[in-house]
Amino acid sequence: MMKLFTLKSLLLLSFVALLSSCGETTTTASSKETKKPSLKKVFEADFLMGAAINDGHINGTDTIALKLIQKEYNTITPENIMKWMYIHPQPDSFYFEMADKYVALGEKNNMHIVGHTLVWHSQIADWMQEVKDSVAMAKYLEKHINTIVGRYKGKINTWDVVNEALNEDGSYRNSIFYQVMGERYLELAFQLAAAADPEASLVYNDYNLWKPKKRAGVIRLIKKLQSKGIKIDGIGMQAHYSLVGPEIKDIENSIKAYAALGMKVMMTELDVTTLPNPWDLEGAEVSQNYEKFEGDPTMNPYPQGLPDSIQVKLAQRYEDLFSLYLRHRDDITRLTFWGVNDGQSWLNGWPIKNRTNYPLFFDRNFSAKPVYERIMALKK
């Protein structure tokens, strides 16, 4: 009964009411399709369910993927097309064609639309790397955020405002932004985003946020912004995990710590690698690449398909994660997978290129893997 009156439940009820008032469901697929169970329906009372999508999905050329996205998900994130180098390639020019299509796709399907990402040191435009003066950098940040957030005001519901600004020990990453402006760049980015769209939910997004030292860094950041009256609504825990780590209790401690500061928590880039990781790499540091192992069969043991024994481990790992997420459903608002099917996952190329990985719920033919039923069964 109490549950009915949580803010989350009220929001969900209004969301459902809005959908019914539009006279349509969140999918445009045939009515037969809409009757089938889906992740978004099964977890409707718990979280938004989503995936990161790319060009073929947005253009509609990848028709099978698009159908699957419409059936299974009620939120989308652009995997690459809104990153600085694509959307703001020159100081005075923006490229909005793909972003416009992405937002139109989300609107057409009544989806919760995520913007990813306004300020990130990676995939930044070359010209921005050359800006060495703090006044000029602040101006460019202002132009970048005002133009992009302003264009999609009222349409993009959640923004990953700053991405991966912390080192593993919780200190600030020595990015181009930090070198030139110090930590003020984070404050400015959140201030600008809040001013450009006061209704949008504003998120700090990073990997390995379960690590105690990194968690402490996020807590310092949240408190700092809050003490200055700067709006921050949520923490995006990317959730690039393996079959064995991190431990559930570490993830749980972070969820609790962020929620205790009034943050909504989102699992923004969920996937579980199934391949050998001899260096015990954690997270998603894109600069890590082990070229010399490219083509080494011991590093790519399942080129023809995932053995049943590993399917079982994958399903168990996701079950442990989803059980945790369900326990914290009042604080977690969204679960977004980083990709649509195994063949499209970035984990086929990181940290060794050209491997065959199986980190998601759907295989290379878009068929649901055993993990799908196992997770749906959690709600039966």
* Interacting residues with ligand 9MR (CB under 6 A): 79-80, 122-123, 163, 238, 269, 284, 286, 346
**Which CB atom, from 123 or from 167, has the smaller least distance to ligand 9MR?**
123
**Which CB atom, from 36 or from 353, has the smaller least distance to ligand 9MR?**
353
Contact 126, 88 (CB under 8 A): no
**Which CB atom, from 102 or from 315, has the smaller least distance to ligand 9MR?**
102
d(CA 226, CA 229) in angstroms, rounded, equals 5
Query: Which of 94, 48, 99 is CA-nearest to residue 74?
Result: 48
| Residue 41 C-beta: closest distance to ligand 9MR, Å | 27
**Which CB atom, from 221 or from 315, has the smaller least distance to ligand 9MR?**
221
Angle at 241 between CA 370 and CA 344, to 5 degrees: 65
d(CA 279, CA 157) in angstroms, rounded, equals 38
DSSP 152-166: TTTT--EEEEEES-B
d(CA 51, CA 42) in angstroms, rounded, equals 16
Contact 101, 86 (CB under 8 A): no
**Which CB atom, from 162 or from 196, has the smaller least distance to ligand 9MR?**
162
φ, ψ of residue 323 in degrees (nearest 5): -65, -40
| Residue 201 C-beta: closest distance to ligand 9MR, Å | 18
| Residue 371 C-beta: closest distance to ligand 9MR, Å | 20
Dihedral sign, Cα of residue 162, residue 62, residue 285, residue 317: positive
| Residue 29 C-beta: closest distance to ligand 9MR, Å | 26
Contact 191, 119 (CB under 8 A): no
| Residue 74 C-beta: closest distance to ligand 9MR, Å | 21
Annotated catalytic residue: which of 164, 183, 199, 291? 164
d(CA 96, CA 151) in angstroms, rounded, equals 9
DSSP 33-93: HHHS--HHHHTTTT-EEEEEE-HHHHHT-SHHHHHHHHHH-SEEEESSTTSHHHHS-BTTB
Annotated catalytic residue: which of 269, 282, 285, 294? 269
**Which CB atom, from 80 or from 147, has the smaller least distance to ligand 9MR?**
80
State yes or no: is 107 an active-site residue: no
State yes or no: is 79 an active-site residue: no
| Residue 339 C-beta: closest distance to ligand 9MR, Å | 7
Q: Which residue is nearest to ligand 9MR (CB)?
A: 346
Active site residues: 164, 269
